[in-house]
Amino acid sequence: MTAFIDLFSGIGGFALAAYWSGLRFDKHYFSEVDDYAIKLYQKRFPDAIPLGDIKNVDYSKLPKGEYLVTGGFPCQPNSNRVRKRRNKDERDLWSECFRMLCELRPRIAVFENVRGLLTVPGEKLKGEVFNRILSDIHRGGYDAEWQIISANQIGAPHKRERLWIVTYPSCKRLPAFNIFNNTNKKENIESSRDWSKLFSITAGAYKMENWEAHEQILTGTYDGLPEELDAIKGAGNAIVPQCAELIFNLPAFDYWRKINE
């Protein structure tokens, strides 16, 4: 049995990337607490099974199988603006990712967070929070590799640097996690998705051919949609799926491509 669990799923960026990459699963689960994101996720992935709040997930009740788990755990505690509370922030839910690793034992887990996670200070030194995460991964019997990937590296018209962490059991060695290696240089990578569509989006009375000049209409109140259908709220609760797609196209994920062939 193969399964996919999308933790902190938002509107489904990880799931979209997985299916773009040809990964297929017998079971698809997701965990999210935002009502708007849940409705949108279920509309896009009607067969996905909701697990509710990640703090209440009982992994022992899930069927045995080969799991791929993804999770863009909350970034607010690690952002430059609000990270003064460090790991005392109630939104710091990394501990739930660690619990998942220990209880579920997935084949691979992929996590995403802001670049600042690398240097978030602990009680004394910079980088203590990231070191705690790496220590947890090691204590759980997993290895980890990580890399910064930016949206503009795959053709997006914005930077959005993010830290991507791939974890796997210590007993299994994966090929080096390096999207932009010597044989696959940044300038030669083209996303399989068409970013040009962004520039034809109609929002309110504006056509986004010159999106920089009208950036203010992309800030919630002025996006031309009522709050209950706020596209900007949804986009803010998501990863860049094209970045995750690059990761899922690595040979390490072929298991979920070939298993159902």
pLDDT digits (tens, 9 = 90+) for 94-149: 999 999 999 999 999 999 998 888 887 766 667 888 999 999 999 999 999 899 99
Domain assignment of residue 36, yes or no = yes
Tell me the residue range of the domain where 29 lies.
2-193+230-258
Tell if the pTM clears 0.75, that is, is over it. yes
Give φ, ψ of 82 to 5 degrees: -125, 15
Domain assignment of residue 86, yes or no = yes
Domain assignment of residue 217, yes or no = no
Examine the residue annotation and report whether 75 is marked as an active-site residue of this protein.
yes
86: domain CATH number?
A: 3.40.50.150
Domain assignment of residue 223, yes or no = no
Quickly tell me which residue has 């090691």 as its tokens: 138
Domain assignment of residue 201, yes or no = no
Domain assignment of residue 119, yes or no = yes
Identify which has the larger pLDDT, 49 or 243.
49
pLDDT, position 158:
75
Total structural domains in the chain? 1
pLDDT digits (tens, 9 = 90+) for 197-247: 544 444 444 344 444 454 444 444 444 444 555 555 556 567 889 899 999
pLDDT digits (tens, 9 = 90+) for 143-195: 998 999 988 887 777 788 899 999 999 877 666 666 655 444 444 445 445 55
Domain assignment of residue 60, yes or no = yes
Domain assignment of residue 72, yes or no = yes
Q: Which of 75, 102, 171, 243 is catalytic?
A: 75
